[in-house]
């Protein structure tokens, strides 16, 4: 029995753009993602930061690079994202 490829769903993975702030580990980089949010009552805009450990197997990224990251399967306790592309 053959599987019909039209019935297989493509996994939509989250993608983010962030800045590499630390690169002291092998195959891992710390990327900071910045979002602009609006207060629900006062409507003032403010920045929110999130740092996450990202898998960098090919050692492409350096500190200060802007990178595009994508959600993936859990690689370690803290890593569940991987670097797709270095934008700078």
Domain residue limits, the chain: 14-86
Confidence of residue 88 (pLDDT cuts 50, 70, 90): confident
Give the pLDDT score at 17. 97
**Whole-angstrom distance, CA of residue 9 vs CA of residue 42:** 41
Q: Is the dihedral of CA 14, 16, 44, 21 positive or negative?
A: positive
Q: What angle do CA 77, 16, 73 make, to 5 degrees?
A: 35
Q: Average pLDDT, stretch 43-59?
A: 96
- β-strands 15-25, 79-86 pairing: unpaired
- Give me the percent of the chain exceeding a pLDDT of 90: 85
CB 67 within 8 A of CB 18: yes
Confidence of residue 2 (pLDDT cuts 50, 70, 90): low
User: What is the per-residue pLDDT across 52-74, written as a single tens digit (0 to 9) for each?
Assistant: 999 999 999 999 999 999 999 99
Give the pLDDT score at 5. 62
Please name the fold of domain 14-86.
Answer: OB fold (Dihydrolipoamide Acetyltransferase, E2P) (2.40.50)
């Amino acid at each position: 029995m053959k599987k019909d490829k039209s019935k297989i769903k493509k996994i939509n993975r989250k993608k983010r753009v962030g800045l590499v702030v630390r690169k002291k580990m092998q195959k891992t980089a710390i990327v900071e993602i910045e979002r602009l949010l609006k207060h629900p009552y006062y409507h003032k805009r403010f920045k929110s930061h999130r740092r996450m450990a990202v898998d960098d197997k090919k050692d492409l990224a350096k500190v200060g690079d802007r990178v595009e990251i994508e959600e993936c399967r859990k690689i370690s306790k803290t890593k569940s994202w991987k670097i797709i592309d270095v934008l700078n």
